[in-house]
Amino acid sequence: MSEKPHDLGFAMKVRPGSGAKVPLPRVADVPPVSADAGQAPNSVGSSVERTAGPRGNEVDRRTLIIGQGMSLVGEVSSCDRLIVEGSIQVTLQKCQHVIIAETGVFNGDASTENADVHGRFEGELVVRKRLLIRAGGHVSGTITYGEIEIEAGGVISGTVEKAGAANVASPLLPLSA
**Segments making up each domain of the chain, as ranges:** 58-161
State residue 129's pLDDT score: 96
End-to-end distance of the chain based on CA atoms, in angstroms?
100
Residues 16-51: tens digit of each pLDDT: 555 555 454 444 443 443 344 444 433 444 344 433
Residues 65-111: tens digit of each pLDDT: 999 999 999 999 889 999 999 999 999 988 999 999 999 999 999 99
Nearest-5° Cα angle at 126, 122 to 127: 110
Instruction: Report the pLDDT averaged over residues 53-73.
Output: 75
Strands 138-150 and 155-162: parallel
- Look over the chain and give the mean of its residue pLDDT values, rounded to a whole number: 75
Candidates 96, 87, 28, 100; CA nearest to 63 is: 96
Sign of the four-CA dihedral 79, 89, 98, 56: positive
Question: Does the predicted model carry a pTM greater than 0.85?
Answer: no
**Cβ contacts of residue 9 below 8 Å, gap of 6+?**
none
Phi-psi region of 96 (alpha: psi -120 to 50; beta: other; left: phi over 0): alpha
